[in-house]
Each structure stands twice: as structure tokens, then as C-alpha cells.
Chain A
Amino acid sequence: MLNQYYGDYITVAVFVAIGAILVGGAVAANRAIAPRAPGGFKDVAYESGIEPIGGGWNQSHIRYYIFALLFLIFDVEAVFIFPWALQLEFFSSIGSGLTVLVEMFVFVGILLLGLVYAIRKGVLTWE
């Protein structure tokens, strides 16, 4: 009998591998059946049927960068909340539930202030 701990890892790994094998198999079958005739206009990047102007990689607006920053802050927050969420039952059973609750509210409150600041600064309004 395999150890449960390794069994879980192996299960996940096998499922991930099956995803890859599924795509790989389909692509191989496609290779075998489909015609291959590269070249010509079908290899040109699609731009509504006219010849593309300039390259495919353009500079994009910086606002996506700000979303990434906001996301990072709140995602880290979520990582901190998960262990707290799991232990809340334990802490309220030993009588310090309220303290733990208030502590998390202070933490979330500070981060929420950051979000309010970002919104007031106009990060989300597009001109």
C-alpha cells in the first residue's frame, strides 16, 4: 500500500500528464491526417483581411501594470486569510475568537484603504 502522502502527489502528476497526453495525441493525429502546405498568404497574421501594418508586438498601455500590482496585494492578502480562516473555529473554541477576528479586520481594513486610495486616484476610470 502506497503512502497516502506520495499517492496524492502521484495522482495530481498523472492527471496533469494526461492533460498533456490528450493534447499531444490530438496534435499527432492531426499531423497524420491534415494536409501540410505552408507558405502563401495564410501564414500572414490576420488583420481583417488586409496586409498587417507594422509588427505583431506593440506597446500597450501601462494600466494593465497597475492591475497586476493591485492583484498582487490582494492575492497575498488572500494567502494570509486562508490559514486564519481554518483556525478561526479553534480560536473561538478556546475563547479568543473576538481578538483574532478584530486582528484580521484591522489587517483587511488597511488593505481596503489601499483599494479605496487606488480608486480615488482614478486607476479604474478610463478616459
Chain B
Amino acid sequence: MEFVDNFWFQLVLKLAGILGVVLTGALVVIYAELKIGSHMQTRIGPYYAGGRWGWAQPLADGLKFLQKEDLSPTGSDRTVYGFAPYVVMMATIAVFVVVPFGPDMVGANLDLGAFYLLAISSLSVLGVLMAGWSSANKYSLIGGLRAAAQLIAYELPLVLAVVAVVIQAGTMSLNGIVDAQQQTWFTIGSFNISAPFIIQGQILGFAIFMIAAVAELSRIPFDMPIAESELTMGYLTEYSGIRFTMFFLGEYASMISLSAIAATLYLGGYAVPGVHGNIVNLLGPGVLLTKVAILVFVIIWIRWTWPRLREDQLQTLAWTWLIPLALLNIAIVSIFKVVF
């Protein structure tokens, strides 16, 4: 079994695994969004492509986009315009390096895991800003600026919510955070009770993280950057064909990655209560993906039931509510850590 431990062999396996999860996951989420949205709003939704339930709709969309002409408007900055989807996709895929699907099922168990994913996930702002600026279109420019203002405003509650988790776990490695949630919380008689962080007093942190995550994804109710009724499609207005698809795929892939991170930080990640050893490597991915599916459903649910926030309202929400609340959360968690 020499070659199984080989670094390069493992790397190829990890790549294949993550790409499979990301791409099929994104397609499944797109389909789920179409179906759930149509059920929630009493629309028809996809029902034709692929026969039953229109299951092939995202594939058909992808094939259609692949055949479309790749347009760039006159006067646009072609280099930056072409490169923007690369930046978004690279940042999106790179986040998955630290997401643990099992004790050993992780791209790389970085000591700085939590810090790394915050740094990398904020890189996609750069791609969005590049797309908005280079399109030479007023809608795109306004959309890009709004996106940048929104993403930096909600980056802070996201970071500060993660800080509280780091305080509680005492480590920034995501595997370490999952392990910390399996440690004994308290004992009743001879029973050791352990619980995920959401039960151990992080409910406020989880709420802040999820609100900020939805805002980072620029989804309703925080979709001012691509508000269709006023900006057509925001920073994506001029994009067509395959480059648009890449932004689109990236958006759904980061929905999965943010949900996976939320599940890891607050809901116990891949851990199965009472099960230890190598078997967790097999069960872990299923457990994590179930949690991801629940969170993704909630995010889709929010999108199809809530109205959009106005630009100044969403800035006010971030700066006057979420950031002070996140700091309060840090204070509470750190006081508990020191006193008990």
C-alpha cells in the first residue's frame, strides 16, 4: 500500500473528489433552486428537459450557454473583462481546500484554516469588482461598486463571528474545530455530554454568520448588486455565454462552500456522535453533505420568500446591528472561556 500514502496520488484523489462535489453539487443546487422556487411561488418551473421532473434542466442550460457567442462590449477593458471569471472561480475552488469531509478527508488541514478561508473567500470580491469596472457599462459599474461595498460590509460580521468560534475551540484548524465540538462539554454521572458549538452558546454567532453568508453570496434579501428591476443584472449585465456560466457556477459553488463552513464551525461538521476511528472517514462526507443540504435549502427558502433590502438599509444592518452584535458575541464567549 506504498502508493496510497504518496502525496501526489492523494492530491489527485482530493482534486477529483472536490471537483466532483463542487460541480455536481452546483448543478444539484441550481436544479433545487428552480424546483423549490417554483413550488414556493406556485410557478411551473422546469418539467420538460430530461423527461421526468425536468431533472436535466441545469445540464441543458449549461450546454446552451456553451454554444453562445462570447461577447464583450465596445470600449470594455478586454483583458480584465476576460480574467474576472477566472478570479471568481479560483477563489471559489480554493476555499474547498480546508473544508474537512472527514478526519483525513480534507484537502489540507492548515493550522490557519479559518483564517485562510476568510482571506480566500474575500478574494472573489476582486473578481466582481473587475467584472463591474471593465464592462464599460453604467449598470455594471454601479453593480460592481454596490457589490464591493456590500461584500466588505458583511465580511466583518463574518470574520468576527468566526473569531468567537476560534476562541471557543482554541484552534484555527477546521479539523481542530470539529474535534473541539466532540470534546466533553459537561458530565452527568458517568455520561460525557458533547455538543456542537451552536448548542454551546453560539446561537447568536451562527445567526450572524448565516446572515452575513447570505449577504456575501449577494442573494435575496441582499441582492442589491444585481437588483434586476433597476440594474438589469448588475456586474453581470454584459457577460454572456460561458463566462456568465462561470460566474453562475461560482455563485452556487460558494453557496455550498459557505454552508459547509457553517456546518463545520457550528453544527459539528463531519462528526457522528459516538462514532470514532476510521469509519468516520466513510460516514463523514454523507453527514457533512446532509447538513450542507439543509443549510442550502434554508438559503433558497429565504430567497423565494423575502423582499429585497434597499442599499442603505443593508449597509445600516451590517454596520449598526451585525458588527456590534458580533463584538458582543465575542465578549460573551471570551468571558465564558476565561471565567469557566
Interface residues of A (CB under 8 A from B): 1-2, 7-8, 10-12, 14-16, 18-20, 22-24, 26-27, 29-31, 33-37, 42-48, 52, 55-58, 60, 64, 67-68, 70-71, 74-75, 78, 81-82, 85-86, 88-89, 92, 97-98, 100-101, 104-105, 108, 112, 115, 118-119, 124-126
Residues of A near B148 (CB, < 8 A) are 64
Query: Does B126 interact with chain A (Cβ within 8 Å)?
Result: no
Digitize B141-185: 1 where CB-to-A-CB distance is under 8 Å, 0 elsewhere: 110010011001101100110010011001110000000000000
Query: Once the chains are docked, how many angstroms separate the CA of A67 from the CA of B314?
Result: 13
Inter-chain contact A92/B242, CB cutoff 8 Å: no
Residues of B contacting A44 in the complex (Cβ-Cβ under 8 angstroms): 73-74
Question: In the complex, which of the residues B68, B135, B312, B319 has the most CB atoms of chain A within 10 Å of its own CB atom?
Answer: B319
Q: Check B237–A46 contact: CB distance below 8 A.
A: yes
Known contacts A19-B89, A19-B91; A12/B232 CB under 8 A: no
- Known A-B contacts A82-B115, A125-B312; the reply to A48 vs B232 at CB < 8 A is yes
A112-B328 Cα distance, complex, nearest whole Å? 11
Query: Given A26-B242, A56-B135, A124-B316, is A11 in contact with B155 using a C-beta cutoff of 8 Å?
Result: no
Q: A23-B86, A34-B66, A78-B160 are in contact. Are A11 and B107 (CB under 8 A)?
A: yes
* Bound complex: CA A74 to CA B15 (Å): 35
Asked whether, in the complex, the Cβ of B93 is within 8 Å of the Cβ of A22, the reply is yes
Q: A22–B89 contact, CB under 8 A? A: yes
**Residues in A whose Cβ lies below 8 Å from that of B15:** 14-15, 18
Determine whether the beta carbon of B238 is less than 8 Å from that of A124.
no
Is B30 at the interface (CB under 8 A from chain A)? no
Report A-chain residues with C-beta under 8 Å of the C-beta of B324. 112, 115
Query: Per a CB cutoff under 8 Å, which of B96, B153, B159 touches A67?
Result: B153
CB-CB under 8 A for A89 and B89, given A37-B69, A57-B136, A67-B152: no
Q: Interface readout for B296-334 with A: 1 if CB under 8 Å, 0 if not? A: 000000000000000110011001100110010011001
Tell whether B337 is near chain A: CB-to-CB under 8 Å. yes
Point out which of A58, A82, A97 has the most chain B C-beta atoms below 10 A from its C-beta.
A82
CA distance A52 to B139 in the complex (A): 11
Closest A residue to B90 using CB positions? A19
In contact, B14 and A11 (Cβ under 8 angstroms): yes
Q: Are B90 and A20 in contact (CB under 8 A)?
A: yes
Indicate whether B46 reaches chain A with its CB closer than 8 angstroms.
Answer: no
Distance A55 CA – B72 CA, assembled complex (angstroms)? 15
> Closest 9 CB pairs between A and B?
A56-B136, A19-B90, A19-B93, A97-B338, A30-B242, A126-B312, A11-B108, A71-B152, A45-B137
Question: Total A-B residue pairs with C-beta atoms closer than 8 Å?
Answer: 207
Greatest chain A CB density within 10 A among B67, B94, B110 is at: B94
B97 touches A12 (CB 8 A): yes
Quick check: A45 and B66 within 8 Å, CB to CB?
Answer: no
Chain B interface SS verdict (over half): helix
Chain B residues with CB under 8 Å of A12's CB are 94, 97, 107-108, 110, 116
With a cutoff of 8 Å between Cβ atoms, the chain B residues found around residue A45 in the complex are 73-76, 135-138, 238
B90 to chain A, nearest CB (A): 4
Q: Which residues of A contact B272 (CB under 8 A)?
A: none
What is the CA–CA distance of A55 and B137 in the complex, to the nearest angstrom? Answer: 8
State whether the Cβ of B291 lies closer than 8 Å to any Cβ in chain A.
Answer: no
The reply on B194 being an interface residue by CB < 8 A is: no
A27–B70 CB distance below 8 A: yes
With contacts A11-B97, A19-B94, A20-B89 taken as known, whether A78 is within 8 angstroms of B70 at the C-beta atoms is no
List B contacts of A112 (CB < 8 A).
324, 327
Which among B139, B163, B335 is the interface contact of A85 at CB below 8 angstroms?
B163
Residues facing A in B44-103 (CB within 8 A) are: 66-76, 82, 85-86, 89-94, 96-97
